[in-house]
Structure 1
């Protein structure tokens, strides 16, 4: 059972049963939500803060751990996968300076777990988080890293336990946003909204406020309230005007409420500075729907190029790549990518990706069990349900092999 409580007191509880199966990106098809609930960085640039400290004390292990973690977050938000190499360098040095039992070892392990999760090496992320918990069972961020890995590895019960422990240790933006995601994956969208409301109540740093507004917007948009989503995104942008994820969410919501020209303009500005595959793909899809076929073709080519950059930097996302190839590229390549990711982790996300890739490759009958698995635990994302419906219809009319 997951008990979502307010900081300082139990102001109410959400009790949910834990099903058998459990993400981006949500916001980004393929990985569901982006890495959940780490919260954004503090208002002062954390990279600059850590670098300033290291100029004074070059062997400060905690500053090195902070620097590595900040590089991971910057790479996630800005799409610069080259920062992962810098993060690894800083974190390896932090760990080398932190012997067993030292107070800086656990933050270094947790930052390394976050790096592994960001690169979709979730098994390593889980192992590093467990090492951190063994060293300090009261360090809440370690349970966050463990929950992220467990979610993506398909360990729903393990993810819920980790989130519950994080909530018990430190009710915060990081723990409540993870709880929201956990609830959503079980089909409790109302509970997910309540958890995000509680996260926002506890948010003080402007970046944390913006982060909560982002996920309120994502939840509203994906579950049928684009006008409410637009309000949430714009509230977040009033706090952090340049946030790429909020700008992308606003563009998607603008398109859904019929303000297409504005949406295209936002996507054009966003992808010029933050060419993440998911933003380019959304831009291309909107351009194609509105008759801008040449513009769409350019964006889809850029998506492929950005995936190649990510592969080169060790940040491969085969789920997102499979979904893109299934809809816009080579369905056979989509199946290959989805099967590769499925071999690494058996989550609802890989089940959905493989189901859709098989369907698009003309193998609907083979897709059925994976599509059913994706929704068996309660996940009711409309796009996932649409995949299931299309697959069932194809099999029912003889459209699958």
Structure 2
């Protein structure tokens, strides 16, 4: 996965520090790759891989010990790796950019012969594999490109790679003349015949492709029409949803109004019942009022008769008052006469008092004086009696 994350490292080679260089590398020698968000589905992987190119690939890592590289044997242009459960052929010549070297057109050999699993604990071709490793070939340090992270490739390598992907390159002999892969040659011949047949049918395929393009264009137009209709339907659907929501809210308001009207109707019915009861009560009260009116009329007649009697008595009282007024006038005249008499008597009394004072001054004896005082007191009582008469 690190080959998909473009990161350049230093140009200096990392020296091995132990038997296992990957686990025993110098801390910090492995570069931290930039954040890489993996595609989430097959479609995204296809889109991502289709845009990969030579510049966006991380062909090698700075921690990889690529100064000296075992890349083939003198017998065959590949290596045979000895695993725990079988043999696995490997061709470093096809991935030279992973070691910082320019990729050239590699030699092709049939490696299928050495895809072997162990049986009964025995390693097949053991002596041959040991001999291959004894005759291994290594690269030189000066074969590394100045910028080993962008080593590039030869001009004809791209054409060769395309032909190899089409499996149109014929493998050579694996081990001298001892092993020859006839089945592989037959498969290559079959692919070449298919390629020629495809070239013969290419014009028909092109016409069919043009027809398919026209059909595709027609389908695109229909699809656009369908999309537009679908958009209009969605708009109508949204409008229906809005109208439905409006109708639902309006229905809720109408239900609330109906509930309110029902409560008001119940109140009106209750008022009608109360009014009927009141009407019945007023009817009964009207009968009672008629009886009361009759009684009141009788009382009014009685009061009228009493009023007539009172009028006659008032007339009699008025006549008596007239008599009393006449008597009062007569009494007033008598009172005037009495007042005149009183005035005269007061004059006499004052004169008598004055005379009495003079007399008392001249009286020498006590008895005579007492007699005069007694007469004076009797005179005063008569005077009081006169005052009372005047008031009466």
Report the TM-score when normalising by structure 1. 0.18
Higher relative contact order (CA 8 A, sep 6+): 1
**Rg: which structure is higher?**
2
Whose strand proportion is higher, 1 or 2?
A: 2
Whose helix proportion is higher, 1 or 2?
A: 1
